[in-house]
Amino acid sequence: MLTFEDFRPGHLGSFGPRYVSREEIIAFAAEFDPQPMHMDDQGGGQSLLGGLSASGWQMCGIMMRMMVDGFVGRAASLGSPGVEELRWLAPLRPGDTVTLEVDVVSARLSKSRPGVGIIVLKTALQNAAAVRLCEMTSTVMIGSRNQVSAE
């Protein structure tokens, strides 16, 4: 299991690829973000995005899933207090195949919670043409080796 000690500043890894279908873009939009630009080609074509594109919040979900499959799922994950900044840079289109680049910005132990590591990550989602679609700086909490072995 990955613990706090495994997260050192620098490149953590590249994750994916992950194919994104038209059906899942429309299904997510219908449930969470039913704006015309996320629902069909006509609505997308009339929008500033210039074509059917995934909800930005679906990008967030896809990034999270890629992180869970890539490393969070085998780490002593304790959750996340939040996201410092997230920028949507380019639309995610039906049929895109995306990859995720993750860097560790900083890693420290919590002063108030013994055994809890506070890791700041910089995450970038990009399509097959290496266009950056989304960039995020977020914080995750990961247990330290001592905390994990004490359980």
Partner 1 sequence: MRFFEDLQVGQRRELGSFTFTAESIRRFAREFDPQPMHLDEEAGRRSLLGGLAASGWHIGSICVRLLVLDGQRQAQAWGPSPGFRDLRWIRPVLAGDTISYATEVQSLRPSASRAGWGLAQLRYTGVNQRGELVYSVLTTTFVPMRPTTA
- Contacting residues toward partner 1, per CB under 8 A: 31-37, 47-49, 55-57, 60-62, 64-65, 68, 72-73, 77-88, 141
Q: Give the residue with the Cβ less far from partner 1, 10 or 79.
A: 79
In the complex with partner 1, the residue whose CB is nearer, 127 or 147, is 147
Min dist CB 61 to partner 1, Å, is 4
- Tokens representing residue 136 in the block: 């995020």
User: Is the peptide bond preceding residue 17 cis, with omega within 30 degrees of 0?
Assistant: yes
Quote the Cα angle for 142-20-133, to 5°: 65
Task: Give the H or E element holding residue 151.
Answer: none
Minimum Å gap between C-beta 96 and partner 1 is 17
Q: Is 12 left (phi over 0), alpha (psi -120 to 50) or beta?
A: alpha
- Give the nearest distance from C-beta 51 to partner 1 in angstroms: 12
| Residue whose CB is less far from partner 1, 10 or 109 | 109
Residue number, 10 or 97, with CB nearest to partner 1: 97
Angle at 18 between CA 14 and CA 23, to 5 degrees: 155
